């Protein structure tokens, strides 16, 4: 029987954006299972708490009708979570050359920590190249319209939280 290929897409997802959804959709074409792993850093202040980030991701995936996707949280080293998940593929999205330095450093460090993991980079659609969770938080915080940038459930939740 053919081995199921699973990949882990880690990140803060604070909040999930249409750019993340685009990467998840692309990963779903390549892998049998995509595990979205939301980092929990107790020391870091986030806009949404972990359970909210997870439920927004789940609701967004329903909106976009994406299958084969699981959403989990993890803390500590990503390579340790990879072992727990039984996956050796890390998915990361690239938007522009400016992402490269940080992503290159992280991929090589993860490879040093565990020779088994491989990072696969997927390019977002050019229309999302300017999009990030931090920009979404900033625009929403100043009352701007984020409806074209994030799934509907995220836009509604942020509007409700900021009012
Ligand atoms: O969406 P983000 O914030 O760019 O995601 C960064 C993330 C969560 C993938 C990265 O910070 C991470 O993997 N953290 C876990 C800690 C770890 O394993 N660090 C060593 C790898 S550099």
Ordered structural domains, the chain, with CATH: 6-129 (3.40.50.620)
Give the Cα-Cα-Cα angle 40, 42, 43 (nearest 5 degrees). 125
Residue with CA nearest ligand 1 atom 7: 11
Cα atoms in the Cβ-side hemisphere of radius 13 Å centred on 110: 25
For 78-135, give the DSSP string.
HHHHHHHHT--EEEEEE-SGGGHHHHHHHHHHHHHH-TT-EEEEEEPPGGGTT--HHH
Which atom of ligand 1 is least distant from the CA of 106?
22
Residue with CA nearest ligand 1 atom 4: 11
> Residue 43's pLDDT is what?
86
> Residue 79's pLDDT is what?
98
Q: Check pLDDT > 70 for residue 1.
A: no
Give the lowest-confidence range in 21-25, 41-45, 69-73, 87-91: 41-45
pTM of the model: 0.96
Examine the residue annotation and report whether 44 is marked as an active-site residue of this protein: yes
Instruction: Read off the tokens for 19.
Output: 């750019």
């Amino acid at each position: 029987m053919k081995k199921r290929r699973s990949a882990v897409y880690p990140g803060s997802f604070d909040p999930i954006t249409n750019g993340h959804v685009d990467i998840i959709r692309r990963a779903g074409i390549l892998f049998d299972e995509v595990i979205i792993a939301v980092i929990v850093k107790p020391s870091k202040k986030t806009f949404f708490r972990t359970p909210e980030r997870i439920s927004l991701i789940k609701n967004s995936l329903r909106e976009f009708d994406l299958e084969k996707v699981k959403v989990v949280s993890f803390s500590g080293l990503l390579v340790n979570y990879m072992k727990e998940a039984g996956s050796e593929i890390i998915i990361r999205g690239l938007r522009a050359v400016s992402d490269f330095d940080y992503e290159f450093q992280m991929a090589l460090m993860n490879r040093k920590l565990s020779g088994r993991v491989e990072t696969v980079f997927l390019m977002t659609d050019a229309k999302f190249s300017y999009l990030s969770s931090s920009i979404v938080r900033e625009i929403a915080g100043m009352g701007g319209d984020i409806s074209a940038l994030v799934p509907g459930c995220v836009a509604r939740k942020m509007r409700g939280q900021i009012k």
